[in-house]
Structure 1
Amino acid sequence: MYPIDRASRMAAANIRLDGVSKNYGPMIVIPKLDVEFRAGEFTVVLGPSGCGKSTLMQMIAGLERVSGGKIVIGGREVQDLEPKERGCAMVFQNYALYPHMTVFDNIAYSLKIAGFTKAERQARVEVVTKMLGLVEYLHRKPGQLSGGQRQRVAIGRAIVREPAVLLFDEPLSNLDALLRHDTRIELADLHRRIGATTVFVTHDQVEAMTLADRILILNKGRIEQYDTPKAIYHYPASVFVAKFIGSPPMNILRVVGDGSLLRLPDGHPVAECHLKGQFQLGIRPEDIAVDIGAGGTGLKAQVRYKEDLGSHSIIAADVAGEAVRIATPFGAETPDRKLLLLSFPSHRLHLFDAQTGKAISGAFSAATKEQK
């Protein structure tokens, strides 16, 4: 038998959804959706509650039937197959462990049902529990474990089958903040070691940004953007993405272009731009420069509140009637006054259509955008 990490890497399969849709009667949860998750990658499906991400996951796993379209895993159509026939393993939010079974029996149960011999089960469970740091808990039952340990047992039960696809449905939401951080590190390390195709559903942007090779952002069942974490953060495809990713999120301001300048509602110019019409202008809180000198000519910002987080501060302010958040550099001192002068570096600006919210490329000079 191959070690489990080698076996999983050999088995990794891509997932392709061709026109997949889901509806419950007249209610459309997911319109026709086309996307491919690459073999061996860690893909995070991210979005707010009710956007369809868990439904999408359950359709891949076979727990929900598709209303239309095809699901292809490793070149094989699976939309009409039972879950056990798809080569997927799933880790649930609530662990779903058998409370009367030991850790060993929970992990080995699927192997037993599949007809593996006792020696084969013992060998596989030994590899998995060493990988997950569970060896000393093999004879305990789930009620004798912490939340983090139970989650690792659930993961072990999934990977012991050496699946082609590993599915996670918000597996960290029941853990406290510190344990979520530690478990994220464990999951990232586990993926590097076994290399299985992984699809991870969450509403937590930190989990998405730290774990994903690629992030699929859903909004009302539709794809807003599918790209690397870095690309999504620095080049959001829409206002929805810009405001969903980032803490604090990107500032979005109403502006009007006159063919040479973009102006705020009060008429103050904020950037050079050759476009005319109404737009939405985006800038991340950490990209706003605060002028602490006297007699500056920047945008006037009325400070409403300042959160001192020790290493940096978050300032909430009003600019021309628009709410703006400013994140100061780590360790930087900010003046304790009610009126600040701000400047928006042009190479850090994003422009979006006022009606659709979609990003507009080429709004600012290529030379400045390349500085990003």
Structure 2
Amino acid sequence: MQTFDTAIHAAAADIRLSGVTKAYDAQSVVIPPMDVEFRPGEFTVVLGPSGCGKSTLLQMIAGLERVSGGKIIIGGKEVQDLEPKHRGCAMVFQNYALYPHMTVAENMGYSLRIAGVPKLERGERVAAVARMLGLSDYLSRKPSQLSGGQRQRVAIGRAIIREPGVLLFDEPLSNLDAQLRHDMRVELSELHRRIGATSVFVTHDQVEAMTLADRVLILNKGRIEQFDAPKVIYRSPASVFVAKFIGAPPMNILDVTGDGSALRFADGQLAADYPGSGPFQLGIRPEDILLDRQGLVQCEVRYREDLGSHQIIETQLAGQKLRISTAFGGEETGANLSLSLPRERLHLFDSQTGRVIPGAFASH
């Protein structure tokens, strides 16, 4: 009998998109020409708001949507004209897509039965996957007799039993409650380490992205805003869009004006020394702002949330909203606060393009 580890272990394949585009007509371009590579064995999360093209991208890789142009190369082989079953991918859907009249064992083993895998081998592989996903006691049950988390594990089991080189996940946790989402994130992370397939996971949930991904690809209107490790994206956002999309609460983005030697807020307060002139956008994370009685920046408290471990203080600075995350107590509504904005924690963005200005506050 095959052992657990040898029964389920994928040969990871790289995925390359070269000039891939998707358009329904000249006015409906969902994905402008895109060039991107997903490394073998990597867990990539595609993150973005609703309508940004992330599910369309996944479905083009899977073969459920035809590309309008360009090439999709999986494991060194062009696949954009191949049927889904010939691409070496397996997909897990948001709605589970289980056969209600089949048992758990029959659902997981269905693709093997269609492929002509002998019954004995099929049973061994179903048993191995069931042990892996904690489903051994549920093999004779129908989907209607399972919880949401158990049904999602069956859907994952049905995908990995084929031993694919590529696993595709289309918002698989969005129908689960908060605790189950957390538990499934842990299970998916462990699953990825054990089977080694190249995984592409689509979500609009930044917590899933930051906790699961080796790298996060952030999409905005079908275009790649940034593609990097979660910590890099959080600490060094490439654009205002990324800065505001990642983080809870998100990065503060404030309008400032450069006079050739310094950046100032609309009320004349000094934000930071900087040699540029003209309008800019200044970014700083709420947790990087210091409550400092000697601080040079003055603002007014508008609202405060006490979250136990820390507080979120919403203030008004030169007519703009500024959020502060701190473990220390803040003043009551209407009080004035003095702040320091550490230079090494500031980010400067071009006011026209929204892109970061690299090295704007680098030490000299």
TM-score (norm 1): 0.95
**Are 2:31 and 1:34 equivalent residues in the alignment?**
no
Equivalent residue for 2:329? 333
AA matched with 2:113: K
Equivalent residue for 1:13? 13
Structure 1: gaps of 5 or more residues:
368-372
AA matched with 1:135: S
Q: Please give the secondary structure, in 2, of the residue aligned with 1:172.
A: coil
Q: Please give the secondary structure, in 1, of the residue aligned with 2:41.
A: coil
In the alignment, which of 349, 357, 360 is matched to residue 363 of structure 1? 360
Q: Please give the secondary structure, in 1, of the residue aligned with 2:80.
A: coil
Equivalent residue for 1:348? 345
Residue 212 of structure 1 contacts residue 228 of structure 1 at CA under 8 Å; is this kept in 2? yes
AA matched with 2:46: V
CA distance 1:42–1:6, change in 2 (3 Å): farther
Q: Please give the secondary structure, in 2, of the residue aligned with 1:11.
A: coil
Q: CA deviation digits over 1:103-143, x for unaligned, max 9?
A: 00000000000000011111111111101000001111000
Structure 2: gaps of 5 or more residues:
none
Q: Please give the secondary structure, in 2, of the residue aligned with 1:224.
A: strand
The Cα shift of 1:9 comes to 5.0
Equivalent residue for 1:304? 302
Q: Please give the secondary structure, in 2, of the residue aligned with 1:347.
A: helix
Output the CA distance in 2 between the equivalents of 1:116 and 1:33: 38
The Cα shift of 1:7 comes to 6.5
Equivalent residue for 2:289? 288
Q: Please give the secondary structure, in 1, of the residue aligned with 2:163.
A: coil
AA matched with 2:102: M
Output the CA distance in 2 between the equivalents of 1:25 and 1:325: 42
Report matched runs for 1:1-372 at 5 Å: 3=3, 5-6=5-6, 9=9, 11-26=11-26, 27-291=28-292, 293=293, 296-329=294-327, 332-336=328-332, 338-366=335-363
Q: Percent identity?
A: 70
Residue 8 of structure 2 contacts residue 161 of structure 2 at CA under 8 Å; is this kept in 1? no
* CA RMSD, 1 decimal: 1.3
Output the CA distance in 1 between the equivalents of 2:295 and 2:119: 77
Output the CA distance in 1 between the equivalents of 2:8 and 2:220: 32
Output the CA distance in 2 between the equivalents of 1:162 and 1:365: 48
Q: CA deviation digits over 1:222-263, x for unaligned, max 9?
A: 000000001100000000000000000000001111222111
Is 215-224 or 271-280 further displaced after alignment? Answer: 271-280
Output the CA distance in 2 between the equivalents of 1:245 and 1:270: 23
Residue 7 of structure 2 contacts residue 125 of structure 2 at CA under 8 Å; is this kept in 1? no
Output the CA distance in 1 between the equivalents of 2:10 and 2:185: 24
CA distance 1:273–1:129, change in 2 (3 Å): same
Output the CA distance in 1 between the equivalents of 2:61 and 2:48: 17
CA distance 1:258–1:348, change in 2 (3 Å): same
The Cα shift of 1:278 comes to 1.1
Output the CA distance in 1 between the equivalents of 2:182 and 2:126: 25
TM-score (norm 2): 0.97
Output the CA distance in 1 between the equivalents of 2:197 and 2:141: 28
